[in-house]
Amino acid sequence: MKLYLKVWRQENREAKGDMVSYDVDGISVHMSFLEMLDLLNERLIQKGERVIEFDHDCREGICGACGMMINGRAHGPLTGTTTCQLHMRSFKDGETVYIEPFRAAAFPVLRDLKIDRSAFDHIIQSGGYISASTGQAPESNSIPIAHEVTEAAFDAAACIGCGACVATCKNSSAALFTSAKVSHLVLLPQGKLEAANRVIKMVNQMDAEGFGHCSNTEACEVECPQEISVLHIGRMNYQYNKALVLRK
Amino acid sequence: MKQTTLTYKLVMAATGLFLCFFLVIHLLGNLQLLLPESEAREQFNWYSHLLSGNILIKIISYVLYLSLIGHAFYALVITKKNIKANGSSYVYDKRSQVSSWNSRNMGILGTIILIFLIIHFKDYWYEYKFGSLPLDAKGNKDLYSIVISSFQQGWYIIIYELSFLALGFHLLHGFFSASRTLGLYHPKYARVVRFFGWVYSILITLGFMLIPIYIYFNLNAL
Amino acid sequence: MIDAKIPVGQLADKWKNYKDNSKLINPANRKKLDIIVVGTGLAGSSCAATLAEQGYNVKSFCFQDSARRAHSVAAQGGVNAAKNYKNDGDSVYRMFYDTIKGGDFRSREANVYRLAECSLSLIDQAVAQGVPFAREYGGYLNNRSFGGVQVSRTFYARGQTGQQLMMGAYQALMRQVSEGKVQTYTRHEMLDLVLVDGKARGIIARNLETGEIERYAANAVVLATGGYGKVYYLSTLAMGCNSSAIWRAHKKGAYMSGVSWIQFHPTCLPQIGETQSKLTLMSESLRNDGRIWVPKKAGDERIPNNIPEEERDYYLERRYPTFGNLSPRDISSRAAKERIDAGCGVGPMKNAVCLDFSKAIKEQGRDKIEEKYGNLFRMYDKINGVDAYKEPMLISPAAHFTMGGLWVDYDLMTTIPGLFALGEANFSDHGANRLGANSLLQSCVDGYFIAPYTIPNYLSGELKAEKVTTDHSAFEEAENTVREQLSRFLSLKGHLSADHFHKTLGKLLYDKCGLSRTEESLKQAILDIKALKKSFDQELKITGDDQVNSELEKAGRVSDFLELGELMCYDALQREESCGAHFREEYQTPDGEAVRNDKDFCFVSAWEWKGEAEEPELHKEPLVFESVKLTVRSYK
């Protein structure tokens, strides 16, 4: 099949970018979306042009490195899918496909489709952990945790940090990402001790990184490859409000 | 403590919910307009008088003004921050496919409501407070007459109805959104509140929308 | 002869003795010591975080945009620990024995015992960090059995155990970043190791965002850069996985061991097109209910569902009646390859076998199968667009895990003083074949519990050493070598992409040094790789500049893979026996089973780099077994 691509090309952080057209034929329906870009890049090399830069690594939907806006949707037209797991059978022969980086002020473009998501690392650094140094741990079964609680914590902890929630949010809010971590940790007994401090620090950091606020449009849940629930945002808000009220 | 968007959101939620509560009081008052003309006039004027005299009501009314201003002000602050957070915009944007229109356009809906409120305040609140209204048989200011006469004009009704449609959509998202901001996360109760929000929004909207139409068609001969 | 420095004492006391006698550094002095950790997977993150907790200054490097993305994140199955929560007779010794036997008696007793011993603390540590391991309804931890052992000792978090452990380690690392004890350098790729007076004293790294070549000095360097299975191009590994860090350390003097021991995972999705970049792993658990078969007739063109029962060959059940479809990974993979080579493969490229659930669905009902494997069937559908409830899955073996790596002693130190290798990057614990759910364990144990003892033990001798800064001439030399290589790549006026060479190398290795090897194929492979390298040096084409340039990154990695591939062949050629994942066709029984040669090959190969034009030199570390008896692995 043949596709007409319009791809965002941008030299560096400061440069102005632009959509550039590429006609790509000889695409097989079995290819993944990233393999289709590999194919295009291979041809660009043959023509002596600079390849399209994009982030990708595991190509099995778990590392969270890949992520682009495909036809105006984060990770493309499917839900619950990362860009690397999107296959060309989801497109029609002769279709025009727009490819852009995830956009947010907190995710500056490095080159083409590569973006800087270190803001997410900063949010985790601000408190997204349980302070348990190596060697302090008690016997693991001495902390029984209900099956349902573990499963709920897992649901939140499944976040892959790809940034689709931010990209699809009309306000570029990182509420889903931040709340998934807050929720994961506060659900577990080990994580409750630091809950109040954690949530305040993480929310403040989220602001400091320049993310917008949450309007509860719930678009993030739809586009999240791990289908993380927006109810975690509710839990984060609860924890935050509680911490504000109880703060001395 | 540093002000964060989440605290702004709390203000939005609290003021929003207070306004929701006020809408119920307001609607209850307005429903008196549906009474037969003879009863309605005195009843409505009495109720209007009640709402302007009592100290408790006075306090509530100041909270109301503050809420309105606060809600609008923080909406502006937040929107400004969001625009900044967005950075450059997408060339090709289909993000609208994954969320409802009203949830994305609370600002526009809110602006429509704000414009309506200005008109509304000018026509009734200002008239009642500072205008020279005739008195009814019981000696209360005759707001009823102004209301009835304004609802004789088709264009006025259209503005009124459109504004309430905007309010309806605003409430539809706003009510549940406020509950999320306040921290409701339990799946079952989140569903219950969402359902309640829908029922509430529809009843309020229909209630307010019904009155002018009723008056237009039934009290035309006044 | 190289010395692994195994501590004295009974097997069970060795690690304790080591810890009791290792040298300590007082907290005030720790602040003066810098440690570089390359790689942020489970081994790297956990080691960096733990050393930082102890008070050392740690610099953590990864080529990804965040530490959290390291490929440990993709491990599915679980992590083993001899907790014996199931009360089914497990113990540290039994776990040690299973691992030694699973590795076909080609690993060190002392190391493996320590692995089993430390497995207990790892689960405690992970739970304390908030890793949501599966639990029973009573709130206690759950286990499942995994890969060819008789006890249930595998802890798991759905099919994302690696991700959850990774988050634990990543968060511990981020915590130390916020404490100011760790500095992270993401999007940085290590391109050379710097030696001063024969000791590892720093690295040269390329900032992948700006293209700058940067120097970093330290008192010790830790490589936790993972495996090199990506040498086959098509593998279950991430696209960025590479051997550059360990290979460049090797060229600076660190020995490489067990280089040709590469595990092929039997249940991966097959290649279906020339542009394919990845062979996705499907959980091994599918083999509990799926039956594996190929058509009896070679070259059968019918689609699988049209092949009647009597014309199907359930070759695993036929050859291994006792274990059947649950035979260990190396055996299942090899059996699949044997059938595919015989022309019985299915699928568009005739390179796959069927994994059939029709019997299980008939017997247990679709609901039951959906409950057990629903997510895997969905994943299969997502990738292939095929409903596996209606037709068999097509699977094939794919390169997965490298048992080989940098040679390390009991301290996890390579032959270069001050250079440590952790996790999959070293060779130490799995012998010639790794047991399922032992890789997460090894990387975590290395990082949390071993290196934090052994590195200080080394550093205590370095307190009085001369302070080395990046102005030292060794840094300049190393930097120049790196710069020269990069500018050579950019100046080549060839016409073939780095991927082209990578794919060619991968195919070549898969055919000649893959699931099975012969003397002839290996000798041929060495010649072919030499020719390919020559062509690479002339015909490579890189476009773009020296800033963000993924092609330039690939070129360096492929260049290292080419050299590593050659060493793999030498290693496989030298080992004239079949053991674990290493199957030499000359050494098999009449019915196709591996024949190990304990008399001549009960040693660890340790290869020394002798220069590009020279053949590598083999050193041998004899394996001494005091606690176990060497037996033949049989799954008949």
In chain A, what is the greatest distance between 2 CA atoms, to the nearest angstrom?
Answer: 66
Residue C367 has pLDDT above 60, yes or no: yes
| A238/B184 CB distance under 8 A | yes
- Give the residue, C273 or C146, on which the prediction is more confident: C273
Radius of gyration of chain A (CA): 20
Strand duo C57-61 + C34-38: pairing:
parallel
The amino acid sitting at A228 is I
The DSSP code for C614 is S
- Where a domain ends, among C599, C615, C631? C599
Instruction: Please spell the DSSP secondary structure of B10-60, one letter per residue.
Output: HHHHHHHHHHHHHHHHHHHHHHGGGS-HHHHHHHHHHHHHHHHH-HHHHHH
Bridge partners of A71, per DSSP, are none
| A74/B95 CB distance under 8 A | yes
User: What region, left, alpha or beta, does residue A177 occupy, with left being phi > 0 and alpha being psi -120 to 50 degrees?
Assistant: alpha
* Token digits of residue C18: 């080591």
By Cβ distance, the residue of A6, A105, A247 closest to B87 is A105
Instruction: Give the mean model confidence (pLDDT) for residues C84-101.
Output: 96
Entry pTM: 0.96
The verdict on C537 and C548 lying in the same domain is: yes
Q: Could you report the per-residue pLDDT of C313-322, keeping only the tens digit for each?
A: 999 999 999 8
Among the listed residues C94, C106, C312, C329, the single catalytic one is C329
Q: What confidence score (pLDDT) does residue C197 get?
A: 96
ipTM: 0.98
| Helix C14-21 with C109-129: angle, nearest 10 deg | 70
Bridge partners of C197, per DSSP, are none
Q: Could you report the per-residue pLDDT of C269-279, keeping only the tens digit for each?
A: 999 888 999 99
For C184-244, give the secondary structure using H, E and C: EECCEEEEEEEEECCEEEEEEEEECCCCCEEEEECCEEEECCCCCHHHHCCECCCCCCCCH
Which of B84, B181, B182 to mutate against chain A (most A CBs within 10 Å)?
B181
The verdict on C269 and C253 lying in the same domain is: no
CA distances (Å), origin C540, targets C328, C499, C529 = 40, 10, 15
Q: Could you report the per-residue pLDDT of C311-356, keeping only the tens digit for each?
A: 999 999 999 998 889 888 888 999 999 999 999 999 999 999 999 9
| Distance (Å, whole) CA C466 – CA C428 | 31
Nearest Cα of chain C lies from the Cα of A163 at a distance, in angstroms, of 12
Instruction: Give the mean model confidence (pLDDT) for residues B48-54.
Output: 81
Q: Which residue of A has its CA nearest to C452?
A: A134
Residue of C211, C636, C568 whose CA lies nearest to C405: C568
Q: Could you report the per-residue pLDDT of C201-223, keeping only the tens digit for each?
A: 999 999 999 999 999 999 999 99
| B97/A73 CB distance under 8 A | yes
Q: What is the dihedral of CA C379, C382, C388, C392, to 10 degrees?
A: -90
Residue C537, classified by CB atoms within 10 Å of its CB into exposed (0-12), middle (13-18) or buried (19+), is: middle
Instruction: Give the mean model confidence (pLDDT) for residues C68-95.
Output: 96
C265 in Cβ contact with C329 (< 8 Å): yes
Q: What confidence score (pLDDT) does residue B222 get?
A: 46
Nearest Cα of chain C lies from the Cα of A162 at a distance, in angstroms, of 10
Residue B1 has pLDDT above 60, yes or no: no
> Rounded mean pLDDT of chain C?
95
Q: Going edge to edge, which strands form the sheet with C419-421?
A: C182-185, C57-61, C34-38, C220-223, C419-421
| Distance (Å, whole) CA C286 – CA C289 | 6
Question: How does A4-33 read in b/e, with b if 16+ C-beta sit within 10 Å?
Answer: ebbbbbbbeeeeebeeeebebeebbebbbb
By Cβ distance, the residue of A6, A212, A215 closest to B86 is A212
Chain C partners of A184 at a C-beta cutoff of 8 Å? 130, 132
The verdict on C433 and C506 lying in the same domain is: no
The verdict on C47 and C109 lying in the same domain is: yes
The verdict on C22 and C133 lying in the same domain is: yes
By Cβ distance, the residue of A31, A56, A130 closest to C275 is A31
Q: Could you report the per-residue pLDDT of C302-311, keeping only the tens digit for each?
A: 999 999 999 9
- Who's near C262: CB < 8 A, 6+ residues apart? C229, C232, C399, C400, C401, C402, C403, C404, C514, C568, C581
- Give the residue, B153 or B19, on which the prediction is more confident: B19
Give me the total of CB pairs closer than 8 Å, taking one residue from chain A and one from chain B: 140
Number of domains chain C is built from: 3
Count CB atoms within 10 A of the CB of residue C518. 17
| Distance (Å, whole) CA B161 – CA C219 | 76
Identify the band that residue B131 occupies on the pLDDT scale cut at 50, 70 and 90. confident
The verdict on C412 and C366 lying in the same domain is: no
CATH code assigned at C561: 1.20.58.100
The verdict on C63 and C151 lying in the same domain is: yes
Q: What confidence score (pLDDT) does residue A194 get?
A: 96
Q: Which residue of C has its CA nearest to A140?
A: C124
Q: What confidence score (pLDDT) does residue B220 get?
A: 59
CATH code assigned at C171: 3.50.50.60
**Residues in B lying within 8 Å of A, measured between beta carbons:** 1-2, 4-10, 78, 81-82, 84-95, 97-100, 103-104, 106, 173, 176-177, 180-187, 190
Q: Is there contact between A and B if contact means ≥3 C-beta pairs under 8 Å? A: yes
The verdict on C326 and C217 lying in the same domain is: no
Identify the band that residue C147 occupies on the pLDDT scale cut at 50, 70 and 90. low
Instruction: Please spell the DSSP secondary structure of A57-104, one letter per residue.
Output: -SSSSSS-----EETTEETSSSSS--GGG-BGGGS-TT-EEEEE----
Q: Could you report the per-residue pLDDT of A43-56, keeping only the tens digit for each?
A: 999 999 999 999 99
Tell me, yes or no, whether C473 lies in a domain: no
CATH code assigned at C394: 3.90.700.10
Q: Could you report the per-residue pLDDT of A61-96, keeping only the tens digit for each?
A: 999 999 999 999 999 999 999 999 999 999 999 999
Examine the residue annotation and report whether C319 is marked as an active-site residue of this protein. no
Instruction: Give the mean model confidence (pLDDT) for residues A27-34.
Output: 96
> Rounded mean pLDDT of chain B?
91
Identify the band that residue B3 occupies on the pLDDT scale cut at 50, 70 and 90. low
Q: What confidence score (pLDDT) does residue B221 get?
A: 45
A137 in Cβ contact with A77 (< 8 Å): no
| B84/A8 CB distance under 8 A | no
The verdict on C273 and C390 lying in the same domain is: yes
Identify the band that residue C284 occupies on the pLDDT scale cut at 50, 70 and 90. confident
The verdict on C365 and C432 lying in the same domain is: no
All structural domains of chain A, each given as residue ranges with its CATH number in brackets, are 3-111 (3.10.20.30), 118-246 (1.10.1060.10)
Residue A48, classified by CB atoms within 10 Å of its CB into exposed (0-12), middle (13-18) or buried (19+), is: exposed
Which of C56, C167, C444 to mutate against chain A (most A CBs within 10 Å)?
C167
Which of A31, A55, A62 to mutate against chain C (most C CBs within 10 Å)?
A62
Identify the domain containing residue C451 by its residue range.
11-261+403-459
B173 in Cβ contact with B106 (< 8 Å): yes
Count CB atoms within 10 A of the CB of residue C434. 27
| Distance (Å, whole) CA B43 – CA B36 | 10
Strand duo A96-100 + C213-217: pairing:
unpaired
| Distance (Å, whole) CA C445 – CA A60 | 26
For C389-421, give the secondary structure using H, E and C: CCCCEEEEEEEEEECCEECCCCCCECCCCCEEE
The verdict on C22 and C150 lying in the same domain is: yes
